[in-house]
Amino acid sequence: MEINRMIDHTLLKQDASIEAIKKLCEEAKQYHFASVCVNPGFVPLAAKMLKGTDVKVCTVVGFPLGATLPESKAYEAKLAIEKGATEVDMVLNDSMAKEHDYEYIAKEVALVKKACGDILLKVILETCLLSDDEIIECSKACVRGGADYVKTSTGFSKGGATTHAVELMRKAVGPKIGVKASGGIHSREEAQAMIDAGASRIGASCGVQIVEGK
């Protein structure tokens, strides 16, 4: 697969402007990225701009801390889908991960997946906060809950994607579940390293420079 079709072209900054979101969507159409990833408030705009194209509209729920109630995440996902989202990235509860309550995580993911139905659900682990064993067990719990992808990072904590985390996640989920590397990926070289480690999707705000090999 061409690298452009593996990129979620992302803008999740708190102060993102309408013009910046429009530019994001135009770039996504031009470069045929897999999706744009925007905060829920921008889903209607992105859906309108990308209607009739091959670019998906991805949004985030429970973002960026993952500390909201599972029912809130499920409702947020449902509402975003009604507004035009065609992929959902949810943040799991990292506090429960640190408590090793993997059953809680599996049930939380299952609740959000039920709200998503056939819509692709990616689950974000804040891997910079987790041990190797916690990354592995969280990834397995996400699969039990019905996740379509596991994802390395929000990009809003103390660290982003690493090839080591990607390798752990890929080993944990097997070949049929997606792994999304996100957070701190700025170049084609960095993106390719994540793909070589097992990533099947790249989340990045630098999608254009990645594609152009800069």
Catalytic positions, please? 89, 151, 180
CA atoms within 13 A on the CB side of 147: 32
Q: Are 12 and 39 in contact (CB under 8 A)?
A: yes
| DSSP letters spanning 152-211 | ---SSSS----HHHHHHHHHHH-SSSEEEEESS--SHHHHHHHHHHT-SEEEES-HHHHH
State the Cα–Cα distance between residues 110 and 22, nearest whole angstrom: 33
